[in-house]
Amino acid sequence: MRHLMLAVLVCLVVTSAAAQPPAPATLTAIRAGRLLDPEAGRILTNQIILVEGTRIRDVGPNVAIPAGAQVIDLSRMTVMPGLVDSHNHLALTYKPEPESNVYYYTYVQESTALRAIQAASNGIQMLAAGFTVVRDLGNNALYADSALRQAIEQGWLPGPTLINSGIIIGGMGGQFFPTPEMVKDHQIVYPEYLDADTPDEIVKAVRQNILFGAKVIKICVDCKPYGYTADEIRLFIREAAKAGMKVAGHVQTPAGAKNAIDAGIWSIEHSGALNDDLHKQMAAKGIWRAGTETPTGLAGHPVSPQAYQRTVANLKNAYENKVPTVFSTDADYFVAGKTRGELCMEFLRPWKDAGIPNADILRAITTNGYKVADIDKVRGPIKAGLFADIIAVSGNPLDDVEALRDVQFVMKDGTVFKRDGVVTPAAFFHAGPVNGWRIR
C-alpha cells in the first residue's frame, strides 16, 4: 500500500511538473449576416457568435462583443455548422495508375506510413471543403486512421474530427478474394481486414481495435457467403458497448441487412441491398442509413444510368419511409482535378435527383452526421458550450444546396483554418503536441 501511494505521489509530481501553463483563451466574435440552423431548417439574420478558446461561449442577435475580442466579419455570408461525411476512407487512395483502381494492389504497394501521410493530406482537403467531422470506416492499413486522429487531437496538424474504425472486422478473407498461398503464407488479408469467425475471435477483434484507437467498430456483415448471424452481430454490439462504441455494418445483401436490423445495429453502410420493407424496419428501429450514393459522371469511376437510377430511387424510398439518413460518400479513390473534399461535394447530386428538399439534405450533412458520429452533445450545432466548428458560404444553401461547394470560411475548434476562400492553417502547426501527448 505504501509503495502504491508513493507511486501515485510520484506520478502526480511528474504530471504537474510536466504540465505547461494554459495559454489565455482567445476571444473571437463572428458577425453572421445569415446564420443557418439546420435542425430547425431556418435562417436567422444579424447574429453574433462569441467563441472563447475552443468553444462557443454565446450566440444571438444582441451578444456584447468584449473589448479586445478579434472580430470576423461574415455579415455578407451564410454561417452554419460544419459538414459531416459519414463514410470516408482517408488513408486509401486507389488510382487508375498504377493499380487499375483495385485497392488490393494499393495495400501491397503502399506502406502504412505513406498512407497515413495521404490521410493527413486528405483530411486537410476535407476540412478546406467544410467537412469538420469525418467517419473514417476502415481500409486504412495498420491503423493509419488512429494515428491521424491522435495527431489531430494532439494538435500537430489541422483536420476534421475523426470517428475512425481501425481495421474492418469480417469473416475469413474480409472483402478480398485472395489465393490460398497469399492468405496462408503471406497473411495478405491483414491488416486491411481482421478475420473473426468464432465468438472468441469476435471479442478479441473488437478489443484489438479498441486498444489501437478505434472510435467505432466496423464489421463486414455479409461480404462472404458465411456472413454474420444476428446473434453474432449482437455479440459485436455488446463488446463494443463496453467501451461506449457503436457498430457500423457494411451490408450488401437483403439477408445481411435483415440480420443487422434484427440485431439492432447502429448503422447500415451502403444502400444496394436495401428495399422498401427493410427501410420500414430500419425506420421503426431508428437504424442509421449511410447509403454512400455514388453520382454518375465521375471521371474514371463510371456508374451506369440504370445503376444510378436505382441508387436515386432507393434514396427517395428511404426518405419517404423516414429512415434516419446521413450524407456519406465512401470516397477512397482519386479523381483528377478534384481534392478529396471537392470529390465528396459531387455526392450532393443524388440527393437533389431524389427530390429531397434542401432543408433535409442540409440535416443529413450536418445534424444527422453529428448524431451518427455520436458526438452531437459536444460538437456540431452552433450552441453555447459546444466546440466551435463553424463554416460560411457566400450563398444561401436553404435556397440552393449547391452553395455548399463554395465554402469561404472554416473554423475548427475555435481556430480559423480558411478565410476569404483561402486556407490559412499556420495557427494549426506546432513543434510539439499542444493538447498533450497522452491522447490515444
- Judged by the rule CB under 5 A, the positions of this chain that interact with Zn ion are 330
Question: Nearest CA to 55 among 433, 381, 436, 430?
Answer: 381
In this structure, are strands 27-37 and 161-164 parallel, antiparallel, or unpaired?
Answer: unpaired
Phi, psi of 154 (to 5 degrees): -75, -20
- Report the residue number whose CB is nearest to Zn ion: 330
Question: Strand pairing partners for 423?
Answer: 418
CB of 39 to Zn ion, least distance (A): 27
Residue whose CB is less far from Zn ion, 239 or 330: 330
Residue whose CB is less far from Zn ion, 37 or 346: 346
Residue whose CB is less far from Zn ion, 36 or 251: 251
Angle (CA) 84 90 94, round 5°: 130
User: Going along 237-280, which residue ranges are E strands?
Assistant: 247-250, 267-269
CB of 219 to Zn ion, least distance (A): 12
The Cα–Cα gap between 270 and 292 comes to 5
CB of 398 to Zn ion, least distance (A): 30
CB of 87 to Zn ion, least distance (A): 6
Chain CA centroid to CA 372, Å? 9
In which residue are the cell numbers 470576423 written?
72
Residue whose CB is less far from Zn ion, 236 or 428: 236
In this structure, are strands 247-250 and 193-195 parallel, antiparallel, or unpaired?
Answer: unpaired
CB of 291 to Zn ion, least distance (A): 11
Q: How far is CA 5 from CA 2, 11, 18, 106, 398, in A?
A: 5, 10, 20, 51, 60
Residue whose CB is less far from Zn ion, 37 or 330: 330
Identify the burial level of 161 via C-beta atoms within 10 angstroms of its C-beta, where 0-12 means exposed, 13-18 middle and 19 or more buried: buried
The Cα–Cα gap between 223 and 303 comes to 21
148: part of which helix (H) or strand (E)?
helix 144-154
CB of 330 to Zn ion, least distance (A): 4
CB of 139 to Zn ion, least distance (A): 7
Residue whose CB is less far from Zn ion, 155 or 173: 173
Residue whose CB is less far from Zn ion, 85 or 330: 330
C-alpha cell at 109: 504497394
CB of 36 to Zn ion, least distance (A): 29
CB of 177 closer than 8 Å to CB of 224:
no
The Cα–Cα gap between 304 and 285 comes to 33
Residue whose CB is less far from Zn ion, 26 or 252: 252
